[in-house]
């Protein structure tokens, strides 16, 4: 009652700001809760001490962007004292707290927020009506919870996963909004040091160029959005042959390959788990007990996206869907599918598609019901007139 009276006395722009900040605060609480559950419920697969000093197994050690940070955390008096202080609360931390885990917590929160922000920005540009913007971030967090924590087997976490989510999301942002290729290449170079899934940013980049033949549509939010592809439209394959497209893609691919040849050579004496996982994935598909978790990838949304893909009006996003089978195929050979975190980087994209499909389906259903009611009213009037 008091809150409603206070809101009634505020100017309209203050009400809007209060609602926006309240929603942002709620999103922050949701993010902190998810990151806390992710760290406390998941089992750390890496020995972070060995990882920080370069002795972890391959291919994990090659994802070494964060290794200096973890080495700093282990030797920082501030981090050690802070972790010791937290460990005194045995109710929350019955197994204690290490400085590296404290660092993970404060590093992962902004990473999740960045990825969620990217999802919201892309939705704003792609949506025609902006009816469900409030749903994008919560749906993204639900997908994160399912993909990263809701596991009956293989409930592992890796220190570089959520930073990789943030890097990949920023890459999608730069591609979608046609930002500077130099900025995209710089992000690609840094993100590749964290995890090799940056390789799959190149297909997203090339798929976006296939839609380059569309003119940009003026948008109330002043953000560029591609016109929906007309019926019978074919991708502009010639766009891929332009030097401004082909050269950056080739240079990024060459950099990715050169870096991995170099880093695997540097750590060639480390123990290795670097081998194809195809046989294990086939084994999981042959066992019915794995199916609930196998098909929970991306929160069970992948079949929905395939069935309702025509409801996605944005040409660029619709073309991006072609990268999903490629992603699944690569993860079938080099990832463990039942460990659904291997799909984590595309969750912002999946959340946007899910909300756009829900929005278009809802609008179409309301329009059909309204038309049916109008026809029924017209029929009643004709009967009365007769």
Residue 139 to residue 356: CA distance in whole angstroms: 12
Q: Which residues pair with 216 in a beta bridge?
A: 226
User: Does residue 242 fall inside a structural domain?
Assistant: yes
Q: Say which DSSP state 43 is in.
A: E
User: Does residue 13 fall inside a structural domain?
Assistant: no
State whether the Cα torsion 276-282-287-293 is positive or negative. positive
Token couple for 259:
């870096």
**Backbone angles phi and psi of 384, in degrees to 5:** -65, -40
Token couple for 248:
């950056």
Residue 335 to residue 193: CA distance in whole angstroms: 18
Domain coverage including residue 216 = 24-385
Q: Say which DSSP state 64 is in.
A: -
Q: How far is CA 233 from CA 28, 155, 229, 237, 326, in A?
A: 42, 44, 6, 12, 22
Contact 181, 206 (CB under 8 A): no
Helix 323-334, helix 201-210: angle, nearest 10: 160
pLDDT of amino acid 21: 83
Question: Three-state SS string across 320-337, please?
Answer: HCCHHHHHHHHHHHHCCC
Give the predicted TM-score (pTM) of the model.
0.89
Element (H, E) at 124: helix 99-126
Query: Over its length of 386 residues, how does the chain's per-residue pLDDT go in tens digits?
Result: 445 554 555 566 555 666 778 888 999 999 999 999 999 988 999 999 999 999 999 999 999 999 999 999 999 999 999 999 999 988 888 888 999 999 999 999 999 999 999 999 999 999 988 999 999 999 999 999 999 999 999 999 999 999 999 999 999 999 999 999 999 999 999 999 999 999 999 999 999 988 765 433 444 444 444 444 444 456 677 777 788 889 999 999 999 999 999 999 999 999 999 999 999 999 999 999 999 999 999 999 999 999 999 899 898 999 999 999 999 999 999 999 999 999 999 999 999 999 999 999 998 888 887 766 665 555 555 556 65
User: Does residue 19 fall inside a structural domain?
Assistant: no
Contact 23, 131 (CB under 8 A): no
Exposure letters 59-91 (e unless 16+ CB within 10 A, then b) = bbbbbbbbbebbbebbeeeebeebbeebbeeee
Q: How far is CA 43 from CA 27, 149, 218, 266, in A?
A: 25, 10, 48, 28
Contacts of 371 (CB under 8 A, 6+ apart): none
User: Does residue 228 fall inside a structural domain?
Assistant: yes
User: Does residue 108 fall inside a structural domain?
Assistant: yes
User: Does residue 75 fall inside a structural domain?
Assistant: yes
Residue 356 to residue 351: CA distance in whole angstroms: 9
pLDDT of amino acid 352: 97
Token couple for 11:
């100017």
Residue 210 to residue 126: CA distance in whole angstroms: 17
User: Does residue 355 fall inside a structural domain?
Assistant: yes
User: Does residue 8 fall inside a structural domain?
Assistant: no
Contact 350, 144 (CB under 8 A): no
pLDDT of amino acid 18: 62
Domains contained in the chain, number? 1
Helix 323-334, helix 278-286: angle, nearest 10: 100
């Amino acid at each position: 009652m008091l809150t409603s009276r206070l809101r009634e006395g505020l100017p309209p722009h203050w009400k809007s700001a209060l609602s926006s900040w309240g929603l942002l605060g709620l999103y922050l609480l949701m993010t902190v809760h998810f990151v806390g559950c992710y760290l406390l419920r998941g089992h750390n697969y890496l020995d972070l001490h060995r990882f920080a000093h370069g002795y972890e197994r391959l291919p994990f050690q090659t994802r070494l962007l964060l290794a200096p940070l973890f080495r700093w955390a282990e030797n920082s008096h501030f981090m050690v004292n802070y972790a010791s202080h937290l460990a005194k609360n045995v109710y929350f931390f019955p197994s204690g707290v290490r400085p590296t885990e404290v660092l993970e917590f404060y590093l992962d929160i902004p990473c999740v927020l960045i990825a969620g922000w990217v999802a919201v920005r892309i939705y704003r540009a792609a949506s025609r009506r902006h009816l469900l913007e409030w749903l994008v971030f919560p749906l993204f967090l639900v997908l994160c919870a399912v993909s990263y924590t809701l596991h009956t087997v293989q409930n592992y976490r890796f220190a570089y996963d959520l930073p990789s989510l943030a890097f990949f999301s920023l890459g999608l942002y730069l591609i979608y909004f046609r930002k500077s290729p130099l900025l995209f290449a710089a992000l690609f170079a840094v993100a590749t040091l964290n995890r090799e899934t940056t390789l799959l940013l190149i297909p997203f980049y090339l798929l976006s160029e296939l839609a380059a033949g569309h003119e940009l549509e003026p948008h109330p939010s002043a953000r560029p959005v591609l016109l929906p592809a007309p019926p019978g439209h074919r991708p502009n394959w010639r766009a891929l042959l332009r030097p401004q497209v082909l050269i950056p893609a080739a240079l990024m691919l060459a950099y990715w390959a050169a870096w991995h040849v170099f880093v695997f050579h540097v750590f060639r004496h480390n123990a290795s788990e670097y081998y194809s996982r195809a046989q294990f994935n086939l084994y999981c598909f042959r066992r019915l007990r794995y199916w609930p978790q196998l098909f929970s990838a991306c929160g069970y949304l992948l079949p929905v996206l395939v069935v309702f893909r025509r409801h996605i009006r944005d040409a660029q996003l619709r073309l991006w869907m072609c990268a999903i089978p490629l992603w699944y195929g690569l993860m079938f050979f080099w990832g463990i599918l039942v460990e659904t975190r291997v799909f984590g980087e595309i969750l912002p994209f999946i959340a946007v598609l899910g909300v756009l499909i829900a929005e278009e389906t809802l609008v179409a259903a309301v329009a059909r019901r309204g038309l049916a009611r109008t026809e029924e009213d017209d029929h009643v009037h004709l009967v009365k007139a007769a």
